[in-house]
């Protein structure tokens, strides 16, 4: 069967260090490469154009809306979403080429192999950590949420076996910085959607997340890093609740004099 054309849509902001490798992982395979640049101040857009991508500039006001808008720019029905710190493996390319011509699914989830520095997190529920990223754009959409938008599709979702490699965190400091950003968005999402959170619920979620990561998902098999990841998972919950509390109570730190 002939190859089904695929558009790859890359979401990026200030990712000049990643664009060569990200685009390089799909160059020669993707039938169209689109980079949606969130008003970068570095050479993200220029490098993307040099690598043959079509570049659009759009501020990410809302993650779900941003991803839906990005897919709408693609000329092909099948769209593979990527972030700039992700790489498509040759095995995944071959698997997609083999499956798409005869599939009845409208979306596919893909395993993610995530690294913190050079450390592959293959425990704590992180691997395979599949995400729905290969989609028929006319029958798929993201929830219009600022953080962790859900996916909706008209049809069935298949599951691919080969990985996307995710170089998400150069080190633990970057992981913590991401955690800080994500918890701010999570707290605001709770407020915007009218979700009610109490202190007992916040503490319960914190404790539950640690033990689910460390015991239930066998984070202990990762040694010290397994403990760190479980601790950070619990920290996500308590930080989100504290920021939620700050918003709903109108608490602000006094300015220094």
pLDDT in tens, 199-219: 999 999 999 999 999 999 888
pLDDT band at residue 254, thresholds of 50, 70 and 90?
very low
On whether the CB atoms of residues 79 and 11 are closer than 8 A, the answer is no
pLDDT at site 193: 86
Scanning 15-165, the segments in alpha helix (DSSP H) are 19-24, 44-50, 63-72, 90-99
Specify the pLDDT at position 250.
82
Across residues 24-42, what is the average pLDDT? 96
Residue 2 has pLDDT above 80, yes or no: no
Q: What does the alpha-carbon distance between residue 178 and residue 125 come to, in Å, rounded to a whole number?
A: 19
Give the list of residues 6+ apart from residue 202 with CB closer than 8 angstroms, or none. 237, 238, 240, 241, 242, 244, 245
What's the number of CA atoms in the CB half-sphere (13 Å) around residue 164?
28
Band of residue 192 on the pLDDT scale cut at 50, 70, 90: confident
* pTM (predicted TM-score): 0.83
The CATH code for residues 6-169 is 3.90.550.10
Q: What is the mean pLDDT of residues 121-129?
A: 89
Contact 62, 69 (CB under 8 A): no
pLDDT value at 120 more than 70: yes
% of the chain surpassing 70 pLDDT: 97
Chain-wide mean pLDDT for the chain? 92
Helix (H) or strand (E) holding 244: helix 223-249
Among 129, 150, 228, 148, CA closest to 187: 148
> Which residue, among 18, 157, 165, 24, has the nearest Cα to 91 in the 3D structure?
165
Domain ranges in the chain are: 6-169, 172-249
Asked whether the predicted pLDDT for residue 31 surpasses 60, the reply is: yes
User: What pairing do the DSSP bridges indicate for beta strands 151-153 and 140-142?
Assistant: antiparallel
What pLDDT, on the 0 to 100 scale, is given for residue 129? 87
């Amino acid at each position: 069967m002939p190859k089904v054309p695929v558009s790859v849509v890359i979401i990026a902001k200030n990712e000049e260090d990643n664009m060569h490798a990200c685009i390089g992982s799909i160059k020669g395979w993707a039938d169209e490469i689109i980079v949606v640049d969130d008003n970068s101040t570095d050479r993200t857009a220029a490098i993307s154009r040099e690598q043959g991508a079509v570049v659009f500039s759009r501020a990410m006001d809302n993650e779900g809306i941003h991803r839906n808008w990005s897919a709408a720019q693609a000329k092909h029905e099948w769209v593979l979403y990527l972030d700039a710190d992700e790489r498509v493996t040759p095995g995944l390319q071959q698997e997609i080429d083999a499956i798409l011509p005869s599939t009845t699914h409208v979306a596919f989830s893909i395993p993610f192999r995530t690294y913190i520095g050079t450390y592959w997190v293959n425990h704590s529920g992180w691997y395979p950590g599949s995400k729905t990223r290969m989609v028929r754009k006319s029958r798929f959409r993201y929830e219009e949420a600022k953080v962790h938008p859900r996916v909706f599709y008209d049809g069935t979702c298949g599951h691919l076996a080969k990985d996307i490699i995710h170089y998400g965190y150069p080190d633990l400091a970057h992981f913590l910085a991401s955690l800080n950003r994500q918890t701010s968005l999570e707290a605001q999402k709770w407020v915007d959607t009218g979700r009610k959170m109490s202190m007992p619920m916040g503490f319960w979620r914190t404790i539950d997340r640690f033990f689910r990561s460390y015991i239930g998902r066998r984070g202990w098999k990762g040694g010290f890093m397994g403990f760190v990841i479980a601790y950070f998972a619990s920290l996500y919950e308590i930080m989100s609740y504290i920021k939620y509390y700050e918003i709903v109570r109108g608490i602000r730190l006094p300015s220094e004099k």
